[in-house]
Structure 1
């Protein structure tokens, strides 16, 4: 009985801690959202107060929708993020499967080489990347951003997925081979469904940096046709004057897709992070 009570209290405490962290994490988002519907004066006078009859205003959203092509920026960000995540997960999972499944000379060194990308920021090679894209004729294209973000996300994807691939039952894979399945069929039909939590974890960890990045869109794709949402929002930020209503409105609309994707992947994300922590 005492053990059952302790388990109940531990469960209540764990949920309480999780709720507290959730509130702390969402509080800045809440502040941005409420201030995006307020007048400029109300933003600075009472930033934590909810918009009322005297302070409510949609001028920020009106400005965002009229000045610049917000929907094009949104579309560009969505395309770059989704396609980059697809290639990161596909190539990362295939490389992780090869490293975990096949034993060959230089296996450990190859895994270490791929993991070095986690420790060495890709921005160090910005000049070389820019020269490469200019020589390839890919400047001011979404393809340039997709290639860079795919290369940026692969080291972490390989590092995480390799450990999960090693935990997949050898008997299951051998049974598939006995049944005549090819290595590709074993990978896509047997292994990938079992590592979905890890795939979701990799997707979330790469999704937010790609969606919020300003550095590479500014350098590789600054044209009006290829601007991402984060870069397009910078038009409201000036050296001397900043349109805070428009900035907060743009940020509010940019946050929504990230929250939606996070909610979709949240259960798999938690499973991926805590997998192996409790036996």
Structure 2
């Protein structure tokens, strides 16, 4: 009886901790947003204060929209992020299903090999990646970034999804096989809907690093037509002078899509994180 009562208590505590963490994490975002609507003098004089009639200014947003092709940078970031997440979830889920469902020689070795990708940063191979992209003619293309980010996110995706897929009932999958369903149909129609919380967790964990990355866009796609939002915002940061109004405005506009995607995935994310804590 006590064990049964502890389940909702654990779930409530986990949800409360997540809400508190979210509020703490969003506080810097709030500071960036309010300062993006203030004059330069007000930013340094009262950074914690809300904009009023005296300090309110849209000069930062005007600068961002006039200098550089901000809409193109935004579009490039959206294409790279959404494309990378699609391939990470698709290939990661397929690999995780194969490793968790089928027993074959080298299964454990393959899982360990994929797990090494979590411990070894992909940036160590930047020179080799650049040479590969040059050889294939993918430099200054969005495909170069999508391929790199897909390779970067696959190890974590396989690691998380394989654990969830092992919990899917074998009776359900065997019933599908008895009914004549193919393995692809079982995977897409029976297994994937049951691991949506895990897929949302993988998407959120990979979305923010991809959206905010500066390293690979600077190396693989620095051309004006392929710049991402993070790389395009660097034009307002100089060695001696920084246009803080434009920087904060650009960051505010860059934060909004991430917040929208986080809200979309938040419910599934919380279910994915708390699923192991309330069993």
Structure-2 change in CA distance of 1:221 and 1:162 (3 Å)? same
Conservation of the 8 A alpha-carbon contact between 2:11 and 2:277: no
1:140 counterpart SS class: coil
Measure, in 2, the Cα distance between the counterparts of 1:14 and 1:71.
39
Q: Does 1:105 align with 2:114?
A: no
- 1:23 positional shift: 2.2
Q: Tell me what 1:56 maps to.
A: 56
Give TM-score, length-normalised by structure 2. Answer: 0.95
**RMSD (Å), alpha carbons:** 2.1
Give TM-score, length-normalised by structure 1. Answer: 0.95
Paired residues for 1:9-48 under 5 Å: 17-48=17-48
Measure, in 1, the Cα distance between the counterparts of 2:171 and 2:145.
41
Measure, in 2, the Cα distance between the counterparts of 1:161 and 1:17.
24
Q: Does 1:212 align with 2:195?
A: no
Structure-2 change in CA distance of 1:114 and 1:19 (3 Å)? closer
- 1:278 positional shift: 1.8
Measure, in 2, the Cα distance between the counterparts of 1:191 and 1:221.
37
Measure, in 2, the Cα distance between the counterparts of 1:97 and 1:14.
28
Measure, in 1, the Cα distance between the counterparts of 2:178 and 2:55.
70
Structure 2 gap segments, 5+ residues each? none
Any runs of at least 4 consecutive aligned residues in structure 1 with deviations exceeding 3 A, and if so which? 5-20
> What count of residue pairs does the alignment treat as equivalent?
278
- 1:200 positional shift: 0.3
Conservation of the 8 A alpha-carbon contact between 2:11 and 2:278: no
- 1:18 positional shift: 4.3
1:52 counterpart SS class: coil
Structure-2 change in CA distance of 1:179 and 1:12 (3 Å)? closer
- 1:13 positional shift: 6.5
Measure, in 2, the Cα distance between the counterparts of 1:12 and 1:78.
35
Paired residues for 1:73-112 under 5 Å: 73-112=73-112
Structure-2 change in CA distance of 1:98 and 1:12 (3 Å)? closer
Conservation of the 8 A alpha-carbon contact between 2:40 and 2:245: yes
